């Protein structure tokens, strides 16, 4: 027979987990921030027990570092980790483009990617950085999913949290660039439709470098993605 007390505690823990994770991924709790169980308990109107469980989950995901009697520190994305994420994204998305060059982009995937670009344009017009970053992640993940490589899709999914945090960090200082970024995504989609994997890889590299490496040409111009 199900234990209603345990079920309620699990639901409460999920609530605390979702709120805290959203605060981290959207940059409202930037790397290095100290957060206590009491603060989240107050925000969610919960006891500390489910919050503690939520913090343990976030620690296992390398988003929080727990310090007994002090609280938890948001783990920052280090420059080395960011470089690793970009390298993996370049490899996985370029491999997806190469596979799609052989088989073509299915109509349903094309329609989905076009919808995401339209969504990005709307969020750019509203200067909705958090929303744009979320749709940006979905767009790039959809490219990998469209290739039909289930292993690549599964692995790419493990980069989602880091990708969103990096994008928000890059976009917050320059929301005026969001419309340009939507155009870049439309260009990437066009290259997939042209089955030009080589040009896609080059455009993607410039897209990512301009976002996260200030020394790049696009970065000096204020690019982000």
Q: Are residues 41 and 102 in the same domain?
A: no
pTM listed for this prediction: 0.83
Q: Are residues 194 and 210 in the same domain?
A: yes
Q: Are residues 92 and 38 in the same domain?
A: no
Q: What domain count does the chain have?
A: 2
Q: Are residues 39 and 116 in the same domain?
A: no
Instruction: For residue 120, tell me if it sits in a domain.
Output: yes
Which range is least confidently modeled, 9-23, 46-60, 86-100?
9-23
Long-range CB pairs of 151-159 (<8 Å, 24+ gap) are 152/92, 152/95, 152/96, 155/88, 155/92, 156/89, 156/92, 159/85, 159/88, 159/89
36: domain range? Answer: 4-74
Closest among 190, 178, 187, 191 to 224, alpha carbons compared: 178
Q: Are 170 and 210 in contact (CB under 8 A)?
A: no
Instruction: For residue 225, tell me if it sits in a domain.
Output: no
Those residues whose C-beta lies under 8 Å from the C-beta of residue 210, and which sit 6 or more positions away, are 216, 217, 218, 219, 221, 223, 224, 225
pLDDT digits (tens, 9 = 90+) for 133-174: 999 999 999 999 999 999 999 999 999 999 999 999 888 888
The percentage of the chain sitting over the pLDDT mark of 70, rounded to a whole number, equals: 90
CA angle 99/103/105 to nearest 5° reads 90
Other C-beta atoms within 10 Å of 111: how many? 11
pLDDT at 195 over 80: yes
Instruction: For residue 21, tell me if it sits in a domain.
Output: yes
First to last CA, the chain: 49
Q: Are residues 88 and 112 in the same domain?
A: yes
pLDDT at 8 over 70: no
Q: Are residues 67 and 92 in the same domain?
A: no
């Amino acid at each position: 027979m199900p234990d209603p007390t345990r079920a309620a505690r699990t639901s409460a823990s999920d609530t605390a987990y979702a709120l805290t994770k959203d605060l981290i991924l959207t940059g409202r709790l930037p790397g290095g921030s100290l957060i206590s169980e009491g603060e989240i308990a107050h925000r969610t109107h919960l006891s500390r027990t489910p919050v503690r469980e939520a913090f343990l989950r976030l620690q296992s995901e390398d988003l929080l570092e727990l310090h007994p009697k002090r609280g938890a520190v948001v783990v920052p994305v280090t420059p080395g980790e960011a470089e690793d994420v970009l390298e993996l994204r370049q490899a996985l998305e370029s491999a997806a483009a190469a596979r799609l060059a052989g088989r073509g982009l299915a109509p349903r995937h094309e329609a989905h990617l076009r919808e995401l670009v339209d969504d990005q344009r709307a969020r750019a017009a509203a200067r909705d950085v958090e929303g744009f970053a979320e749709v940006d992640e979905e767009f790039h993940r959809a490219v990998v999913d469209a290739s039909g490589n289930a292993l690549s899709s599964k692995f790419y999914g493990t980069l989602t949290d880091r990708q969103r945090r990096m994008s928000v960090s890059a976009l917050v200082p320059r929301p005026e660039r969001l419309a340009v970024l939507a155009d870049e995504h439309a260009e990437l989609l066009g290259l997939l439709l042209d089955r030009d994997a080589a040009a896609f890889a080059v455009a993607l590299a410039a897209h990512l470098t301009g976002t996260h490496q200030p020394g790049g040409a696009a970065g000096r111009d204020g690019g982000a993605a």
